[in-house]
Structures are given as structure tokens and as C-alpha cells.
Amino acid sequence: MNPTIDKTESIEKVSIPELEKKGRITKVVIIVSKGTLESVYAGLVLANGALMEGIQADMFFTFFGLQAVTKAHADHLHTGTVGNPAFMPAIPTLVAGLPGFEAFASYMMRKEMDKLDMPHVTEFLQMIEAGGGEIYACKLAADMFHLKKEDFVDEVKDIITVGDMYALAEGEGTHFIFI
Amino acid sequence: METMTLSKPIETDANGYLKDPNQWTPELAHEIANSLHITLTDKHFEVLNWLRTKHAEGVALSIRKVGNSGIVDIKQFYQLFPGGPLKNAAKIAGIPKPVSCI
């Protein structure tokens, strides 16, 4: 038999789910590399929003994003007030850098988020886990910041390598989101 | 205007959500659930009735609120209504698709 025909047949035998044929997103892997309040929430909202739509979602926290999944910092994230011209444009950079300003701005932002019924980071992570989302920490970054499994919140399933993270994305219809 | 092919014609929006929550009946819930490959139990109906009550009260529904309802936790909610719990539960409950991002 002609090898080309064999190949065609083997492809046909692979059953691709109907959704994927339509280009529908079936899974997202969200990489959070920043530790500011707004970056972390962007990742959490995207992951939870995917699960709500029936899309599988896994999260990979790396570099400063790791702060968001440590017991010490998860619920105490700050937003950057310096070098962030879109935030309070009327405030001069020098003022934005004064001691306590960042904490105050973060507190105000936190209050606004509470009004919108947005959960705190640890509760958000619990919601994502309850929805079947898996949460991972980056091994390289964890080594760099001397963080161990016990330093992370319970929702962190494991500390994995970048190769393991790519393995999470296996299958058709997977999208990556990098924050 | 769309209609669902159920035992009787029911007016729905383009995504299959009932236009009028008052047209909802438990029998209809079973039919919509079957189309989503979900078999309804008493627990499902507890959630559906809670959703309908809250919707009637004008509450903006979210997964988090369902998790705090005292009926199911979020994990059970995902198990009862797989493939997008809030939207599927809303569809079966005969209420509009919730617009919540959380």
C-alpha cells in the first residue's frame, strides 16, 4: 500500500472533537509573571472566566508573579504607583514615590474591588481550584527567590519546570496567555 | 427571535435562554437539561430555585454568590452543571444569561 495513503488514513482515525474543528478555545494556560495587584487579578479573572465558560484553565506563576501564590503575600499585593502613568495621572511621580503612598493607593484600589464583590487572591485561587483549574509555581523562579512548597498557598499543586508547563498545554485548542 | 424545540414552543434568545422566566416549569427544566446532557436531581432543583428567586429579586448572579448560597459549594456547583456551571444552570432555570465576569 502507498505510504501516503496510510498516513491519510491514520489522520482520519484521530477523532478531533467537534469544538476544536470550529476553532473553539478548549483550554487556556495563563502565565502570570508580574506581582502587582492588577496583573495578578488579570490572570485570576481570565482563569476563572474561562472555567465559567466550560474552558479548561491552568495557571503558571513565575518571577514576581510568584508573590501572588505565597502565604505571606497573596492577600497583600500592591499596585505600582511609580512608573505607572495611567494610574492617577494627576499625581507627580515624585509624590507617588513617597513612603506609604503605594500602600494607600493599593488600599483604595482594594476597596473599589470589594465593592464589585471581587474575592481576595486566596479565595479566588480556591474558586479556580474548585472549578478544576490547576495552579503551578515555576521551579526556576522558586529557586531564585528561595521559595519552597510550604511557602506557597495550598492551592499550588506543584512546583514545575517550563517543560512541565508546556506539557500542561498538550492537546488541540489550547491557548497561552502571558501576563 | 428563536424558539426551542421542546414539547411546546418556548421563546428564547439567540443563545437558548428563555425570554420569559414565567414560562419555566420543572418539566421544561428537565428537557433543557437533557439537551445539555445533564440529568436533574433534587439538588439541582434546589440550586435552580435559588437562582430563580435571586434573579426575581434583581440580584446580579455570580459563581461566588452561588458558592455562598449555603446550598452547594463552588466545586459541587461545577459538578452539578458541568461545562460552564453558571450559564448552564441559568439556562435550565429559565433566567437570562448572567453577565458577571466573576
Sheet strands side by side (includes A174-178): A156-160, A134-138, A56-61, A27-32, A174-178
Query: Any CB–CB contact under 8 A between B97 and chain A?
Result: no
pLDDT of residue A29: 96
* Assigned domain for B47 exists: yes
CB A63 within 8 A of CB A173: no
Average pLDDT over residues B72-78: 94
B53 is in which domain, residue-wise?
Answer: 2-93
Confidence of residue A3 (pLDDT cuts 50, 70, 90): very low
Q: Tell me the C-alpha distance between B6 and B32, whole Å.
A: 8
Q: Exposed, middle or buried by CB within 10 Å (0-12, 13-18, 19+), for A50?
A: buried
pLDDT of residue A133: 95
Our CA-based measurement puts residue A126 at a distance from the nearest CA of chain B, in whole angstroms, of: 9
Average pLDDT over residues A153-178: 92
Residue B101 is a catalytic residue: yes
pLDDT digits (tens, 9 = 90+) for A29-63: 999 999 998 899 999 999 999 999 999 999 999 99
| Cα A128 off chain centre by | 10
| Cα B84 off chain centre by | 11
pLDDT digits (tens, 9 = 90+) for B5-64: 556 678 888 888 888 888 888 888 898 898 889 999 999 999 999 999 999 998 889 999
Q: What ipTM, to 2 d.p.?
A: 0.83
Strands A27-32 and A174-178: parallel
Residues of chain A positioned with their CB less than 8 A from the CB of B84: 52-54
Cross-chain residue pair A131–B64, CB shorter than 8 Å: no
Q: Domains in chain B: how many in total?
A: 1
- CA neighbor of B83 nearest in space, from A175, A54, A160: A54
Q: Tell me the C-alpha distance between A136 and A116, whole Å.
A: 27
* Assigned domain for B46 exists: yes
* Assigned domain for B101 exists: no
Cross-chain residue pair A48–B63, CB shorter than 8 Å: yes
Q: In this structure, what is the dihedral angle of CA atoms A163, A165, A166, A167, given to the nearest 10 degrees?
A: 90
| Cα B61 off chain centre by | 11
* Assigned domain for B56 exists: yes
pLDDT at B72 over 50: yes
- Nearest chain A residue to B81 by CA: give it: A54
Average pLDDT over residues B81-101: 90
pLDDT at A22 over 80: no
Query: Any CB–CB contact under 8 A between B87 and chain A?
Result: yes
In B40-84, which ranges are continuous DSSP H helix? 42-56, 63-67, 74-80
Q: Indicate the helix (H) or strand (E) that contains A158.
A: strand A156-160
Confidence of residue A141 (pLDDT cuts 50, 70, 90): very high
Residues of chain A positioned with their CB less than 8 A from the CB of B78: 51, 130-132
* Assigned domain for B72 exists: yes
* Assigned domain for B102 exists: no
Confidence of residue A1 (pLDDT cuts 50, 70, 90): very low
Q: Which of A157-166, A167-176, B80-89 has the lowest mean pLDDT?
A: A167-176
Cross-chain residue pair B102–A45, CB shorter than 8 Å: yes
pLDDT at A144 over 90: yes
pLDDT of residue B93: 92
Our CA-based measurement puts residue B7 at a distance from the nearest CA of chain A, in whole angstroms, of: 27
* Assigned domain for B28 exists: yes
Compute how many other C-beta atoms are within 10 angstroms of the C-beta atom of residue B33. 19
* Assigned domain for B13 exists: yes
Query: Any CB–CB contact under 8 A between B82 and chain A?
Result: yes
Cross-chain residue pair B74–A127, CB shorter than 8 Å: yes
Our CA-based measurement puts residue B36 at a distance from the nearest CA of chain A, in whole angstroms, of: 12
Cross-chain residue pair A131–B86, CB shorter than 8 Å: no
Average pLDDT, rounded, for chain A: 85
B42, amino acid identity: D
Cα distances (Å, whole numbers) of residue A81 to A41, A84, A97, A104, B29: 16, 6, 7, 10, 50
- CA neighbor of A36 nearest in space, from A92, A136, A110, A146: A110
Q: Tell me the C-alpha distance between A145 and A108, whole Å.
A: 29
